[in-house]
A and B are shown apart, each in its own frame.
Chain A
Amino acid sequence: MSEAKAILKNNIWENNPILIQILGICSTLAVTNLLTNTLIMTIGVTFVTALSSFTISIIKKMIPRKVRMIVQTLVIAFYVIIVDILLKAYAPEISKNLGPYVGLIITNCIIMGRAEAFAQSNPPLISFWDGFTSGLGYMSVLMLLAFVRELLGFGTLFGFRVMPMEFTNGGYNWTIMVMAPSAFFLVGILLWIAKETMLKQETGGDK
């Protein structure tokens, strides 16, 4: 059990996929202007990471080393197709909003990274847990990002208005928050805060 706990802590904070490894931001930064989209998208990513780690861990002995990358990609693509079909069936509106970014979960480096770094050399259940917690680490950071962007950009949270109308329309223009640059700025600031905190934690670190 303590191993599972260690993995959880590692994937959410010490080795957070975004804050520390800067992986997989491509396909998801694009959807962080609305909380709902981000939530659905990161749930999709978590689902795919967890299950593909699980599957790859089961079949790892059967895959020849040389073709393992392509097999891993196919496993990941398989789960992404499931997510895509489920979204189209149960949430067509969100599926349309997310557009090509659902398909782009395939090239999300986190999933491939976990498959290579963990599932390849660990038993299935713990690989599932590793993939799942990596997904959670990813989700937490992106939800934070989406929270700030939606709140400042539209004055809403999950589509509900929390800021007065004047906040977004009356003379102040916060459109920048829903456009691409703000995502880059916010990630930059977030990385700064995370690194600063970590430097403080390391008492007597080398810097």
Chain B
Amino acid sequence: MSPVISPFSLFFASILTSNILLANFLGMCSFISISKDMKSSNGLGMAVTVVLVITGMANWAVLHFILIPLGLEYLRYIVFIVVIAAVVQILEMVIDRVSPALYMSLGIFLPLITVNCAILGVALFIEIRNYSFIQSVIYSLGSGLGWWLAIMALSAIRKKVDKAPVPAGLQGPGITMITIGFMAMAFIGFSGMLQVQ
């Protein structure tokens, strides 16, 4: 049984209060290394959102049409990661064909996405929370947009922080983590409005 959640609150909760990055800590590695540069952050955020929606749907279908009927749920980790790798690979080829310009700007980020834990995390959350197909699409879209929003905000903040007189030991990752902490607090502030789980 799928839980009863209004699509609207699921969408906004996945962007704000249950932000995949700030509340669930997923996709941190690329988040920290890429957010130095705003343009790359934008590209990666876009790519993550697209891949999330596609893999969210694909993994839901694989789980419900193949793994559950065959009783092979314990293989889900392997299957999910293979689906993700395949989707990323196909997407890379399609984008290369259709829009070389977009390929050039996304190029380096696409392969990185396979190992972005947010993608696998969303697939696993969908499975654990028993979302229906429509809910999975909304949740993966919302999570992608939430990740995108978070990385854009952080890269904008980091631009300012770079110029600030931060103690030597705190420079780099240290101050970035603390900045993310403040962002997480701000996002949690929305939980008075809506919440999922």
A and B physically associate? yes
A34 at the interface (CB under 8 A from B): no
A207 to B171, CA, bound (A): 12
Which A89-137 residues have C-beta < 8 A from chain B?
99-100, 103-104, 106-109, 112
Q: Which residues of A contact B32 (CB under 8 A)?
A: 22
Contact: A100 with B128, CB < 8 Å? yes
A196 at the interface (CB under 8 A from B): yes
A81 to B176, CA, bound (A): 33
Contact: B168 with A73, CB < 8 Å? no
Given A26-B29, A29-B28, A180-B22, answer yes or no on A100-B184 (Cβ-Cβ < 8 Å).
no
B77 at the interface (CB under 8 A from A): yes
A66 to B126, CA, bound (A): 32
B13 at the interface (CB under 8 A from A): no
Contact: A106 with B25, CB < 8 Å? no
A183 at the interface (CB under 8 A from B): yes
A122 to B171, CA, bound (A): 34
B140 to chain A, nearest CB (A): 14
Q: Point out residues on B near A: beta carbons under 8 Å.
A: 22-29, 32, 74-78, 80-82, 85, 115-117, 119-121, 124-125, 127-128, 167-178, 180-182, 184-185, 188
Pull 6 A–B residue pairs with CB atoms less than 8 Å apart, ordered by A. A106-B77, A107-B117, A180-B25, A181-B181, A195-B170, A195-B174
Q: Point out residues on A near B: beta carbons under 8 Å.
A: 22-27, 29-30, 70, 73-74, 77-78, 80-81, 84-85, 99-100, 103-104, 106-109, 112, 176, 179-185, 187-189, 191-193, 195-196, 199, 207
Name the 5 nearest CB pairs between A and B, nearest first.
Answer: A184-B181, A196-B169, A188-B177, A100-B124, A188-B178
